[in-house]
Amino acid sequence: MTDESAFVFEEALELNTLADLEGILGFEPTASRRDAAAADTAPDASSYELMLQVGAGAMGEVFLARDRALLRRVAYKRLLSEVNVNAEVLGRFVREVQITAQLEHPNVVPVYSLEKTSDGWAYAMKLVFGKTLKELIQTARSAWEQGHEPEESLRLPALLDHFLKVCDALSFAHDRGVLHRDLKPANIMVGGYGEVYVMDWGIARVMGQADLDGTVELNLPDTGDEEVFEATRMGQILGTPRYLSPEQAAGKNDQLDGRSDLFALGLILYELTLLKPAYHASKLTELLKKVLKAEKAPPKALHPRQPLPRELLAIITKATARRREDRYARVQDLAADIRRYLRGEAVLAQPDTPLQAGQRWLLKHLAASVLVILGTLFSLGALTTWTLWQQQQTQTRLFVQTRQLQKLQAQVASRAQEINSGLLALHAPLRALEAEAAARLQSSQVSTQPVFAPAAFATPGREPADYAYYPRYARFLSLSAPVLQAPPASDTALQALAGLTPVLARQFRQLLPPEQQSAYAQVMAEEGLPLVWAQIATAQGALLTYPGQTGFDESFDPRQQAWYQQALSSQQPQWSSPYIDPLGQGLLLALSLPIQAADPAQPPLGVVALELSIQYLIDTWLFLELPGVQQHYLLNAKGEIVVRSSDRDRLYGLRFGQVQAGQTIDTPLFDQPRVLTELQTGRSGYLRLQRNGIPVWLAFYRLEALGWYYLVEVEERAFLAAAD
């Protein structure tokens, strides 16, 4: 199994119709009402207290609200009363919520809940304190128009960093089969700590599923008003006129693919590079004609000192080509070309000419070029030559240091995004198991699956038919049956948990790419998966462990384990501290989630946990092909060391009884106070420090999905020497 496929888990989005959703919530379907107001059986009280209206549109309004139960502030989006009885509008609204909620990505705004009250349908989402990308672009433009360079956070490199996070979100959405169709700077939020969220999935479409296009008309007047150009349009032509792709402007909604969103990303890239929109027109019809032909305004700087890199202009040209075939094939390819530009490499959109390649080579080998020049000048005088050499050496060192730091930052950021996406991908199987466990534990239907207790695995002739030795685990396992054990009073819970057997095997198998799923048993025997065990424990102490084996001793109580206790503190997935596996698989991390009862007032029914091998995590992610790298770390929000790359050499006496089974490993505080101070700000960056008298660089990047940090320590001399 390759590293790239280590955390593949693709699950199709599930969308309920409005009628289905109303049935689930116990309301009369909208389409069947004669008198909508009289038939509405929704509760009067919302779960949220509305505090302040912060926005409004043709269909809905947005409030700053307060969650009555959790006492947190949220953004609360509610349909206007005049459209609350329109089944088509409601259907699109529900689809927006469902799509956004299922796109669990660090750069997609999280949805908290969907509700219906006497005021109509509404949903709550994360409240983002910050500005839109449109506002940042306007502020940067204003600075150049006033004759000075914008502050660092508004310069092109910072804006490109935000843009790459948008690309990551859209790449994730496209992999899930979702098109946004309304990308624009006003729909991208940048928080105060550099977090980026793609907002407003109101006209998003799931490829391969029936759409609502054309059922709701929101047409715009044919004027030259900027608000008209940047307002979302619905009807045959969907989206915002200024950011449409040519095929989207032509109304070919059923033919759109990811390259339509990619075109819009190219227009946004144009705008954050030149700080002005790509299209200008006096009327809406004139604007749409330009969009259909992809006739963008020629690039022109606002100020003589404003940078307009030719590589970026070439990337924009390719991303916004009129023909889809001439654009990048995927959003990942667009992002990769931007990262090449940031690393100072040639971009695929415009390969270097021989002269440009030579110039780029000279920049990368500046020290050698300087020595040639100095040799030529030597005859002019030793003193002059020595002075020039000193100056050039200083410039060379500064140049090399800057370029190497850019390379370090780029690789740390790229690896952090991989870690972030990989760990986030485990949320889907965890939630699927929690939903199945909740249904089984509350169902009156008796499962017909056999129950295999620890004694059955230990008794020849009573074990499951596939019980065999797995070298990767160094023990006998069954992939067809979990082991179930419980106090005597929990026998009914065991029978209910046994019904999860096929679900467990399916979830583990789906961690493999499709072409390897038929070889599931062989992979488990030879290579293993990132997940080692799945644990499902009930509030009464019943326990299911998959894959099946001889289980724990009789004194083992899952409710006393750290992963169980930690899960009860939140309704969201929680990562544990590292601990030693009682079943002998080394150091583990657990991702756990409480099993919710149908009645929210009741306590959790138990906890579901997926246990991840830290050895696998280290081998898969905690490395960079850079000289001078001393150590990799994963730090939690407190700055404590959760994992370090040197942990691969720490045995902890596993399988030999020198430590207590299930023991939680200490998470010491990182030993550099300056780093801890930086982490508290929520920013990513780098620091130069002295460790034992040796200069080192520490590059760190925030993992948005966890609130953790990925940190790499590099010894300066070896790192810079490799650039010569």
Distances (CA, A) of 49 to 44, 123, 172, 459, 570: 12, 13, 33, 60, 22
Q: In this structure, are residues 470 and 526 in contact, taking their beta carbons and an 8 Å threshold?
A: no
Q: Which CATH number fits domain 425-620: 3.40.920.10, 3.30.450.20, 1.10.150.530, 3.40.50.450?
A: 3.30.450.20
Show the tokens assigned to 93. 């609204």
**441 vs 453: CA distance, rounded Å:** 18
Q: How distant, in Å, are the alpha carbons of 182, 242, 337, 364, 366 from that of 361?
A: 41, 40, 19, 5, 8
Strand partners, 470: 475
φ/ψ of 654, rounded to 5, equals -65, 145
Whether residue 581 contacts residue 558, with contact meaning beta carbons closer than 8 Å, is answered with no
Q: In angstroms, rounded to a whole number, what is the distance separating the alpha carbons of residues 414 and 625? A: 13
Predicted model pTM: 0.52
pLDDT of residue 721: 79
Neighbours of 308 (CB within 10 A): 13
| Phi, psi (rounded to 5 degrees) for 163 | -65, -40
Distant-in-sequence, close-in-space partners of 310: CB < 8 Å, separation ≥ 6 = 350
| pLDDT of 370 above 80 | no
What pLDDT, on a 0 to 100 scale, did the predictor assign at position 381? 54
The least confident of 20-24, 432-436, 663-667 is 20-24
| Helix extents (H) in 26-155 | 36-39, 87-102, 133-145
| DSSP code for 105 | -
Distance from C-alpha of 279 to C-alpha of 2, rounded to nearest angstrom: 44
Pair of tokens at residue 46: 């919302």
For residue range 285-330, what is the model confidence (pLDDT) as tens digits? 899 999 999 999 999 998 888 989 999 999 999 999 999 999 999 9
Calculate what percentage of the chain has a pLDDT beyond 70: 79
Residue type, 88: E
Among candidates 658, 652, 595, 648, which has minimal Cα distance to 622? 648
> For residues 351 and 155, what is the distance between their CA atoms, to the nearest angstrom?
25
Residue 569 has pLDDT above 70, yes or no: yes
Residue that has been written with the tokens 């899930």 in this structure: 176
Mean pLDDT for 146-152 is: 91
- pLDDT (tens digit, 9 = 90+) per residue, 22-48? 555 555 555 444 344 434 445 567 899
Closest among 138, 181, 188, 187 to 165, alpha carbons compared: 188
Phi, psi of 704 (to 5 degrees): -60, -35
pLDDT of residue 229: 53
* Per-domain residue ranges of the chain: 3-126, 130-351, 425-620
pLDDT exceeds 70 at position 386: no
Between CA 290 and CA 651 the distance in angstroms is: 65
Domain 130-351: CATH class, spelled out: mainly alpha
Q: What is the pLDDT of residue 38?
A: 38
* Domain 3-126, classified CATH 3.40.50.170, yes or no: no
